[in-house]
Amino acid sequence: MGFDIAGVATLTSPGTTLSVDGASNWMQVSANGVLTRPQAPYMRGQLVGKGAPYNSGTGPLMVSADVNVGGCWNDASGYWTAPVQGFYMATLGALAGSAAGSGYFSIRKNGGDLNLNHWNHAGGWHYVTLSTIVYCEANDYFCWVLQSVSPPTNGFFGDGGHGMYSIALMA
């Protein structure tokens, strides 16, 4: 049985569920105090059919989402758009290569680079990672990018698997 608070929320018991429409859980506290937010925007994906190596040039890495809760990730543009103000965790794991050379990878938010990282190796595939928490206002947008890849035929492995990409709004 729920308790309606002035038309803006319904509290239920045992535990508490917050929702305006009474149907979709926005925030739930279970009977033993575990908090979840089932509508929290989230994506995870990979690079598929892009070649190996794949260099996205000056544009975003065109990650294909396997899960896209809330529809904030756009496969066609390679951008995540923040639906609300908050802190978004973003992760990347990738293989960089394959010839001897170097390159940079980073998060690009609203056109500015964050979390610049680098590889420089003698050849083959070099496993690289990036994790961060990006603060966003509503409608800010960000993507993963490569920069200064040398030689330009180098890049990330882009033919499925061998890497992972994810973003989620933190509590």
Partner 1 sequence: MGIDMSGVGIYKNASNGVTLHYVNFNSVGQGAAGSVPGYMGWQAGGSNFYAAPTGWLINAVNWQAYLNTGNGVFTCPVAGYYAMGYNGIHNGGSGIPAGYNTFGYAGFAKNGALSYFVHWNQSTGTYWNTGGTSILFSCAAGDTLALFVNRSPSPVGPDSQGLNYGLYPNTHNYIWCKLVG
Residues that bind partner 1 (CB under 8 A): 5-9, 18-20, 24-27, 35, 37-41, 70, 83-87, 89, 96, 114-122, 126-135, 138, 169-171
What's the min distance (Å) between Cβ of 75 and partner 1? 20
Helix (H, G, I), strand (E, B) or coil at 19: coil
What whole-number distance in Å separates Cα of residue 26 and Cα of residue 168? Answer: 15
Task: For partner 1, give the closer residue by CB, 2 or 49.
Answer: 2
Count of CB atoms situated within 10 Å of the CB of 73: 25
What's the min distance (Å) between Cβ of 170 and partner 1? 6
What's the min distance (Å) between Cβ of 156 and partner 1? 12
Task: For partner 1, give the closer residue by CB, 9 or 52.
Answer: 9
What's the min distance (Å) between Cβ of 160 and partner 1? 22
In angstroms, the Cα distances linking 82 to 8, 67, 108, 156 are: 24, 16, 13, 25
Task: For partner 1, give the closer residue by CB, 49 or 118.
Answer: 118
In angstroms, the Cα distances linking 69 to 18, 31, 60, 166, 169 are: 19, 25, 20, 11, 11
Task: For partner 1, give the closer residue by CB, 48 or 114.
Answer: 114
- CB 128 within 8 Å of CB 77: no
